[in-house]
Amino acid sequence: MLSAAHSDRTRAARLVAFGRRRGLLASVALALVLTACSPRGNSTQIRRPDIGSQADVVQASQYWSERFNANPGDEKAAYAYSRALAAQDQRAQTVAVLQKAVLANGSSNFLKGELGKAMAANGQFTEALSVLAQAHSPDRPDWRLLSAQGAIYDQIGRAETAREHYQSALLIAPGEASVLSNLGLSYALSGDLNAAETYLRQATATSKSDERARQNLALVIGLQGRFDEAEIIAKKDLPPEQAEKNISLLRGLLKQANTWETIRNGGKEVTGSSSVTGAKAPAQASRQTSGPLSLLQR
């Protein structure tokens, strides 16, 4: 017989899946790893190209396209061109460019890593894992790629394997905010909001934390019914009206899913008040969230 905690986590997973279907929650696991600092190549660290407006993106794409076509094996040109394409949401073309680059420069682990992450962003999870495994080795692991692999495993529902990769990444880069954030969201996936909050708080406490980590913390806190606290955190990065809107949307999500009272009532619809019963409710339900790693939409 399933335990009450397991049952609550299952219902919580359904709740967040419900929210994702309604468009309230957006996948961010891969966004976290794909927008992190790029890993080192064999000899040189390649900086992310500075791309601003849409016009700048188009101009950058044209410039780097010419550079790349002249020499597909050039790491800098391939990377910059792929980022310009990704900025235009041309995911399939991004993959194609990086595949061509890897064929031209098969010794570049940097390009293999970028290809693996681009494949993951394009939903090619199996291929991405295969390529990322070739981009580093157990004797010379790259924490960024370990975190990327972990995010993919979370996407395909292999939480334990994902967390093993995050923990391995943290051994190499202790306290790294992006890894802690992914680890926290991994626990949120399985409905363990207590653990999720713990790791997300660690992530936001570092000097390298960013808006995504803070907004994910706000989401996890909001899912526990602590809306005022969640709104305060959300307002650190968002305009007040946007933060209020996000929290209002979250409240609506909980109401549409019949709130924590429904979750605590064995999934049966209840009548009467649909308000969240405060911090005690999620503590008793123990864990509540899921869906491949989520963020309130801006």
Q: Which residue has the higher pLDDT, 115 or 16?
A: 115
* Three-class DSSP category at 26: strand
Whether 44 shows a pLDDT value over 70: the answer reads: no
Tokens of 289: 């969230």
286: left (phi over 0), alpha (psi -120 to 50) or beta: left
- pTM confidence score: 0.74
Residue 124 lies inside a defined structural domain of this protein: yes
> Residue 74: which domain range?
51-138
Residue 5 binned pLDDT confidence (cut-offs 50, 70, 90) = low
- Is 82 a domain residue? yes
Which of 27-36, 80-89, 270-279 is modeled with the greatest confidence? 80-89
288 part of a folded domain: no
- Torsion angle in degrees (nearest 10) through CA of 95, 84, 27, 96: -10
- Torsion angles phi and psi, residue 134, rounded to 5: -85, -15
- Per residue in 121-149, pLDDT (tens digit) is 999 999 999 999 999 999 999 999 999 99
Looking at residue 283, its pLDDT comes to 33
Q: Which residue stretches of the chain are H helix? A: 4-21, 29-34, 54-70, 75-87, 91-104, 109-121, 125-135, 143-155, 159-172, 177-189, 193-204, 211-223, 227-234, 240-256, 259-264, 280-285
pLDDT band for 6, please (50, 70, 90 cuts). Answer: low
Average pLDDT, rounded, for the chain = 78
- Whole-number pLDDT of residue 191: 84
Q: What is the CATH number of the domain that holds 92?
A: 1.25.40.10
In this predicted structure, the answer to whether residue 39 has a pLDDT above a threshold of 90 is no
Is there a domain that residue 58 lies in? yes
Q: What confidence tens digit (pLDDT) does each residue in 70-120 have?
A: 999 999 999 999 999 999 999 999 999 999 999 999 999 999 999 999 999
Task: Using the predicted structure, report yes or no on whether residue 270 has a pLDDT greater than 70.
Answer: no
Q: Strand, helix or coil at 47?
A: coil
Residue 131 lies in a domain: yes
What is the band of 40 on the pLDDT scale with cuts at 50, 70, 90? very low
- Does 29 map to a domain? no
Does 55 fall in a domain?
yes
Is residue 94 included in any domain, yes or no? yes
When divided into structural domains, the chain yields a total of 1
The label of the residue with tokens 């460019």 reads: 97
For 172-198, write each residue's pLDDT tens digit. 999 999 999 999 999 988 888 899 999
Q: What percent of the chain has pLDDT over 90?
A: 55
